[in-house]
A and B are shown apart, each in its own frame.
Chain A
Amino acid sequence: MSVEEDATVREPLDLIRLSIEERIYVKLRSDRELRGKLHAYDQHLNMILGDVEEVITTVEIDDETYEEIVRTSKRKVPFLFVRGDGVILVSPPLRTT
Protein backbone atom coordinates (compact mmCIF):
# COMPACT_ATOMS: atom_id res chain seq x y z
CA MET A 1 0.00 0.00 0.00
CA SER A 2 2.43 2.66 1.17
CA VAL A 3 5.55 3.34 -0.88
CA GLU A 4 7.29 4.48 2.29
CA GLU A 5 7.33 1.02 3.81
CA ASP A 6 11.05 0.54 4.07
CA ALA A 7 12.74 -2.85 4.10
CA THR A 8 16.10 -1.52 5.32
CA VAL A 9 17.14 -2.17 8.87
CA ARG A 10 18.52 1.09 10.21
CA GLU A 11 17.93 1.06 13.93
CA PRO A 12 17.09 -1.41 16.71
CA LEU A 13 13.34 -0.96 16.35
CA ASP A 14 13.65 -2.14 12.76
CA LEU A 15 14.94 -5.47 14.02
CA ILE A 16 11.70 -5.92 15.90
CA ARG A 17 9.76 -5.08 12.76
CA LEU A 18 11.29 -8.16 11.15
CA SER A 19 9.54 -10.27 13.79
CA ILE A 20 5.97 -9.10 13.10
CA GLU A 21 3.72 -12.15 12.68
CA GLU A 22 6.50 -14.29 14.13
CA ARG A 23 6.79 -15.80 17.56
CA ILE A 24 9.04 -13.86 19.94
CA TYR A 25 10.39 -14.01 23.46
CA VAL A 26 9.93 -10.97 25.70
CA LYS A 27 11.67 -10.49 29.06
CA LEU A 28 9.75 -8.19 31.40
CA ARG A 29 10.37 -6.63 34.78
CA SER A 30 9.35 -8.54 37.91
CA ASP A 31 10.92 -11.76 36.65
CA ARG A 32 8.31 -12.35 33.98
CA GLU A 33 8.75 -13.73 30.51
CA LEU A 34 6.37 -13.95 27.61
CA ARG A 35 6.37 -16.04 24.47
CA GLY A 36 3.86 -15.22 21.82
CA LYS A 37 3.18 -14.09 18.29
CA LEU A 38 3.95 -10.44 17.69
CA HIS A 39 1.04 -8.61 16.08
CA ALA A 40 1.96 -4.96 16.72
CA TYR A 41 4.43 -2.76 18.55
CA ASP A 42 5.39 0.89 18.79
CA GLN A 43 8.43 2.98 19.72
CA HIS A 44 7.64 2.60 23.44
CA LEU A 45 7.71 -1.17 22.99
CA ASN A 46 4.03 -1.38 23.78
CA MET A 47 3.05 -4.64 22.08
CA ILE A 48 0.16 -6.82 21.17
CA LEU A 49 0.91 -10.52 21.34
CA GLY A 50 -1.24 -13.50 20.40
CA ASP A 51 -1.26 -17.05 21.86
CA VAL A 52 0.87 -15.90 24.75
CA GLU A 53 2.41 -17.94 27.50
CA GLU A 54 3.55 -15.99 30.55
CA VAL A 55 6.14 -17.46 32.93
CA ILE A 56 6.64 -15.88 36.36
CA THR A 57 9.76 -16.94 38.27
CA THR A 58 10.03 -16.69 42.04
CA VAL A 59 12.90 -17.66 44.32
CA GLU A 60 12.22 -18.69 47.87
CA ILE A 61 14.98 -19.07 50.41
CA ASP A 62 14.54 -21.77 52.99
CA ASP A 63 14.91 -20.29 56.48
CA GLU A 64 17.00 -23.14 57.81
CA THR A 65 19.01 -24.51 54.94
CA TYR A 66 19.27 -21.21 53.02
CA GLU A 67 18.82 -23.10 49.81
CA GLU A 68 17.14 -21.33 46.94
CA ILE A 69 13.89 -22.83 45.72
CA VAL A 70 13.08 -21.64 42.24
CA ARG A 71 9.44 -21.82 41.24
CA THR A 72 7.74 -20.89 38.02
CA SER A 73 4.07 -20.30 37.35
CA LYS A 74 2.66 -20.21 33.86
CA ARG A 75 -0.53 -19.09 32.24
CA LYS A 76 -1.82 -18.67 28.74
CA VAL A 77 -3.66 -15.68 27.34
CA PRO A 78 -5.07 -15.68 23.80
CA PHE A 79 -4.55 -12.00 23.01
CA LEU A 80 -2.61 -9.54 25.14
CA PHE A 81 -1.57 -5.87 25.13
CA VAL A 82 1.73 -5.35 26.96
CA ARG A 83 2.73 -1.90 28.15
CA GLY A 84 6.19 -0.99 26.95
CA ASP A 85 7.57 0.40 30.19
CA GLY A 86 7.76 -3.12 31.59
CA VAL A 87 9.76 -4.56 28.70
CA ILE A 88 13.43 -5.37 29.17
CA LEU A 89 14.25 -7.25 25.99
CA VAL A 90 12.72 -8.71 22.85
CA SER A 91 14.19 -11.60 20.92
CA PRO A 92 13.30 -14.49 18.63
CA PRO A 93 12.30 -17.47 20.81
CA LEU A 94 15.25 -19.14 22.49
CA ARG A 95 15.84 -22.62 21.23
CA THR A 96 16.90 -25.33 23.67
CA THR A 97 18.86 -28.13 22.00
Chain B
Amino acid sequence: MVLRGFRRFRLFFSYFKDLVGQEVTVELKNDLAITGTLHSVDQYLNIKLENTRVVDQDKYPHMLSVRNCFIRGSVVRYVQLPPDGVDVDLLHDAARREARGG
Protein backbone atom coordinates (compact mmCIF):
# COMPACT_ATOMS: atom_id res chain seq x y z
CA MET B 1 0.00 0.00 0.00
CA VAL B 2 3.05 2.23 0.26
CA LEU B 3 3.14 2.14 -3.53
CA ARG B 4 0.01 4.23 -3.71
CA GLY B 5 1.82 7.30 -2.41
CA PHE B 6 5.10 6.61 -4.17
CA ARG B 7 4.50 8.42 -7.42
CA ARG B 8 2.28 11.18 -6.14
CA PHE B 9 3.06 14.81 -6.88
CA ARG B 10 6.12 13.94 -8.99
CA LEU B 11 4.77 13.15 -12.43
CA PHE B 12 6.29 16.10 -14.27
CA PHE B 13 9.46 16.07 -12.20
CA SER B 14 10.04 12.47 -13.31
CA TYR B 15 9.11 13.34 -16.88
CA PHE B 16 11.62 16.18 -17.08
CA LYS B 17 14.33 14.05 -15.49
CA ASP B 18 13.86 11.56 -18.31
CA LEU B 19 14.20 14.39 -20.79
CA VAL B 20 17.64 15.61 -19.60
CA GLY B 21 19.99 16.00 -22.55
CA GLN B 22 17.30 16.92 -25.05
CA GLU B 23 16.70 20.26 -26.72
CA VAL B 24 13.75 22.23 -25.40
CA THR B 25 12.43 25.75 -25.76
CA VAL B 26 11.28 27.41 -22.55
CA GLU B 27 8.82 30.26 -22.91
CA LEU B 28 8.67 32.55 -19.92
CA LYS B 29 5.74 34.56 -18.66
CA ASN B 30 7.45 37.73 -19.87
CA ASP B 31 7.34 36.30 -23.42
CA LEU B 32 11.07 35.63 -23.59
CA ALA B 33 11.76 32.25 -25.20
CA ILE B 34 15.02 30.38 -24.67
CA THR B 35 16.16 27.29 -26.53
CA GLY B 36 18.76 25.04 -24.96
CA THR B 37 19.72 21.60 -23.80
CA LEU B 38 17.97 20.48 -20.65
CA HIS B 39 20.70 20.03 -18.07
CA SER B 40 18.70 19.44 -14.91
CA VAL B 41 15.38 19.99 -13.18
CA ASP B 42 14.23 19.92 -9.57
CA GLN B 43 11.01 19.27 -7.66
CA TYR B 44 9.85 22.85 -8.21
CA LEU B 45 10.44 22.37 -11.94
CA ASN B 46 13.22 24.94 -11.82
CA ILE B 47 15.18 24.33 -15.01
CA LYS B 48 18.84 24.56 -15.90
CA LEU B 49 19.60 24.94 -19.58
CA GLU B 50 22.93 24.74 -21.40
CA ASN B 51 24.02 26.06 -24.80
CA THR B 52 21.23 28.54 -24.64
CA ARG B 53 20.18 30.95 -27.31
CA VAL B 54 17.28 33.34 -27.18
CA VAL B 55 14.62 32.65 -29.78
CA ASP B 56 14.08 36.22 -30.95
CA GLN B 57 17.63 37.58 -30.65
CA ASP B 58 16.89 40.94 -32.17
CA LYS B 59 14.08 41.59 -29.74
CA TYR B 60 15.99 40.43 -26.66
CA PRO B 61 19.65 41.24 -27.24
CA HIS B 62 20.56 41.41 -23.55
CA MET B 63 21.12 37.67 -23.33
CA LEU B 64 23.41 37.26 -26.34
CA SER B 65 26.40 36.23 -24.25
CA VAL B 66 24.49 33.91 -21.93
CA ARG B 67 25.19 30.25 -22.63
CA ASN B 68 23.89 28.55 -19.49
CA CYS B 69 21.08 29.61 -17.25
CA PHE B 70 18.91 28.70 -14.30
CA ILE B 71 15.21 29.40 -14.73
CA ARG B 72 12.90 29.62 -11.74
CA GLY B 73 10.01 27.24 -12.29
CA SER B 74 7.37 29.79 -11.39
CA VAL B 75 8.26 32.10 -14.30
CA VAL B 76 7.75 29.43 -16.95
CA ARG B 77 4.66 29.63 -19.13
CA TYR B 78 5.41 26.79 -21.56
CA VAL B 79 8.12 24.29 -22.38
CA GLN B 80 8.14 23.17 -26.01
CA LEU B 81 9.15 19.54 -25.99
CA PRO B 82 10.55 17.04 -28.48
CA PRO B 83 7.55 14.98 -29.63
CA ASP B 84 9.43 11.72 -29.43
CA GLY B 85 11.03 12.49 -26.08
CA VAL B 86 9.07 10.08 -23.93
CA ASP B 87 6.56 7.29 -24.42
CA VAL B 88 3.11 8.92 -24.33
CA ASP B 89 1.41 5.75 -23.15
CA LEU B 90 3.49 5.84 -19.98
CA LEU B 91 2.38 9.45 -19.51
CA HIS B 92 -1.26 8.51 -19.90
CA ASP B 93 -1.00 5.72 -17.34
CA ALA B 94 0.88 7.90 -14.88
CA ALA B 95 -1.59 10.76 -15.22
CA ARG B 96 -4.52 8.46 -14.65
CA ARG B 97 -2.96 7.31 -11.39
CA GLU B 98 -1.79 10.74 -10.28
CA ALA B 99 -3.78 13.88 -9.53
CA ARG B 100 -5.89 12.48 -6.79
CA GLY B 101 -6.11 15.59 -4.65
CA GLY B 102 -6.41 13.78 -1.35
Chain A interface residue number, banded = 20 to 34
Closest partner residue, chain B, to A21 (CB atom): B92
| Residues of B with C-beta under 8 A to A88 | none
- A window 69-90: CB within 8 A of B: 77-83, 85-86
Tell me the B residues contacting A by CB distance below 8 Å: 3-4, 9, 11-12, 15, 29, 45, 73-74, 76-83, 85, 88, 91-101
Tell me the A residues contacting B by CB distance below 8 Å: 1-2, 4-6, 11, 13, 16-17, 20-21, 39-43, 46, 48, 50, 77-83, 85-86
Q: Which 5 A-B pairs have the closest CB atoms?
A: A40-B95, A81-B79, A40-B91, A79-B83, A79-B81
